[in-house]
Structure 1
Amino acid sequence: MTTPLLQVRGLVREFGHGPGLVRAVDDVSFDVMQGEALGLVGESGSGKSTTARCVLRLIEPTAGEVRLDGEDMLALGGPALRRLRSTAQLVFQDPYSSLNPRMTVADIIAEGIRIHRPRESSTTVKDEVVDLLELVGLRPDHLTRKPAAFSGGERQRIGIARALALKPKLLVCDEPVASLDVSIQAQILNLFADLRERLDLTLVYIAHDLSTVRHLCGRIAVMQDGKIREIGTREQIYEDPQHEYTRALMAAVPEPDPRSERAKLAARRSAQTTEAGRP
């Protein structure tokens, strides 16, 4: 049996102490296979982003186990942790605040390469940066510009190129299209799908609704109040959701056909009226 690239077991993250203690991540467990795209979906405050940051050890979990490519992430430190971290990279939600405004695109993308492969020649680094730019749909003449010269979608492409610079196996995407226009969202989602196929990438894709993960993720985990309420294939989640919270998220997904959307809203209002009339 193939070992998952990412294994998470009993993950817990608590904030505060005593009566003010909050368990933001509560006994979360899941696997992600090599080349798979897992969607992690839930409303704001459900624990999705905290889970992702614990997995990458950007914040320390209170308890649990995280194994990446067979190695215990939580047991490593120093050079060993730095080496393993290059295997997993994060694409941030906000393409405006996640890029250093004082750096050029070339320096932003090359920074990770210079840190992790300091002996690489400047020519090799530049060639890699150009290849990465083209991979995400940008041009070599963008190298000398700074983030302010780009649109939100272009900045997110720069952030994706930066994440890919270390040739990761796992890409954790923390609501990467949430701040973008709907038309641009589709382009970025298509880019992730293309990159996953071309590079055999494994994705953990975080979203606050089910609409953006439908065509990208083969499996979906639904989070609420720090817990995974339901996890299953795309078909199971969309066609036969088992948990009431999943069904509520499904009901909130807009239909592309206005007639279908009106029918769904009418059915929802009818159900609410029926429920209100019960003793």
Structure 2
Amino acid sequence: MTDNILEVEHLTKEFSARGEIVTAVDDVSFTVRRGEALGLVGESGSGKSTTARCVLRLIEPTAGTVRLNGVDLTSLRARKLRNFRANAQLVFQDPYSSLDPRMNVSEIIAEGIRIHRPREKESVVRDEVAELLEVVGLRPDHLGRKAAAFSGGERQRIGIARALAVKPQLLVCDEPVASLDVSIQAQILNLFQDLKSRLGLTLLYIAHDLATVRHLCDRVAVMQQGSIREIGTREDLYSHPQHPYTQALIAAVPEPDPIEERRKLTARRAAAAAGAAAEAASLTEKAAR
């Protein structure tokens, strides 16, 4: 058995917009090993969330293959695709709109169990839901409450419990801390790290910057304009970034040390000024010819 739980090869997604074809994901290939967390990083519009949705078959890819445990997901239809859904789950970015306001916490978490294991005893479902609530750091008295009664961080914990309820092998996290306060972000990242260690989870973690993936991910893939520019271990990518876009992303990561942050800001301004001066000199030279 291969060590890769997820294999994405030559994935492409095109959209039609006003009579033109827009390529959102352009010939993307990567693998995710069992038990690792792969960060997929890029600014807004880079194609990372579209890639994640193609992997999960929430939208149909234009071309390419996606294999989970060696099974080509792009070829699955109807019942087989439904069975696959239990193996790969999504944690959404927005914890406010991703939870049904009509359902209480117990119903939200149990929904996936009832869909994928419809014959399961109700007592077993209740026990599993209570256990999941504890795993994500919430209390048993939260079970009967509606989503509106919780903070953003608590709602995201509920969303994580819901995703874990069907015992997925792959958890796709689409910028799950982007809409949370910085202090809450750290708590959720620590929760993912704990779940990865405790449950042996495999994560595909989407983020728009390199700061949030540094703590969690084993490897990082950097996306820009629908393509992967660089992929490598966390240590190599942070210590020796090869692509200019990766270097720019790392330079933009805030430093907790104010002195070091000022030094980085000064260096960025100097580099920008040097680049502007070089461009101006080039234009002057061309005008003089």
Compute the TM-score of the two structures, normalised by the length of structure 1: 0.98
Letter in 2 for 1:113: I
Letter in 2 for 1:160: I
Query: In the alignment, does 2:253 pair up with 1:258?
Result: no
Query: In the alignment, does 2:225 pair up with 1:225?
Result: yes
Residue pairs, 1:67-78, within 5 angstroms? 67-78=67-78
1:2 Cα deviation from its structure 2 partner: 3.1
Question: What whole-Å deviation, never above 9, does each CA across 1:115-169 have from its counterpart, x for those lacking one?
Answer: 1000001111000000000000001110000000000000000000000000001
| 1:208 corresponds to | 208
| 2:241 corresponds to | 241
Number of aligned pairs? 279
| 2:184 corresponds to | 184
| 1:124 corresponds to | 124
Distance in structure 1 (CA, Å) of the matches to 2:221 and 2:154:
29
| 1:114 corresponds to | 114
| 1:267 corresponds to | 267
| 2:104 corresponds to | 104
Query: In the alignment, does 2:277 pair up with 1:277?
Result: yes
Unpaired runs of 5+ residues, structure 2, are 282-289
Letter in 2 for 1:199: L
Letter in 1 for 2:164: L
Distance in structure 2 (CA, Å) of the matches to 1:102 and 1:77:
31
1:17 Cα deviation from its structure 2 partner: 6.2
Letter in 1 for 2:194: D
| 1:58 corresponds to | 58
Stretches (4+) displaced over 4 A: none
Query: In the alignment, does 2:136 pair up with 1:136?
Result: yes
Distance in structure 2 (CA, Å) of the matches to 1:239 and 1:57:
35
1:268 Cα deviation from its structure 2 partner: 1.1
After the TM superposition, which of the residue ranges 34-43 and 71-80 deviates more from structure 2?
71-80
Question: What whole-Å deviation, never above 9, does each CA across 1:151-190 have from its counterpart, x for those lacking one?
Answer: 0000000000000000001000000000000000000000
Distance in structure 2 (CA, Å) of the matches to 1:40 and 1:210:
9
Aligned-residue CA RMSD (Å): 1.1
Question: What whole-Å deviation, never above 9, does each CA across 1:57-92 have from its counterpart, x for those lacking one?
Answer: 000000000000111101111221111121000000
Identity of aligned residues (%): 72
Unpaired runs of 5+ residues, structure 1, are none
3-state SS of 1:52 partner: helix
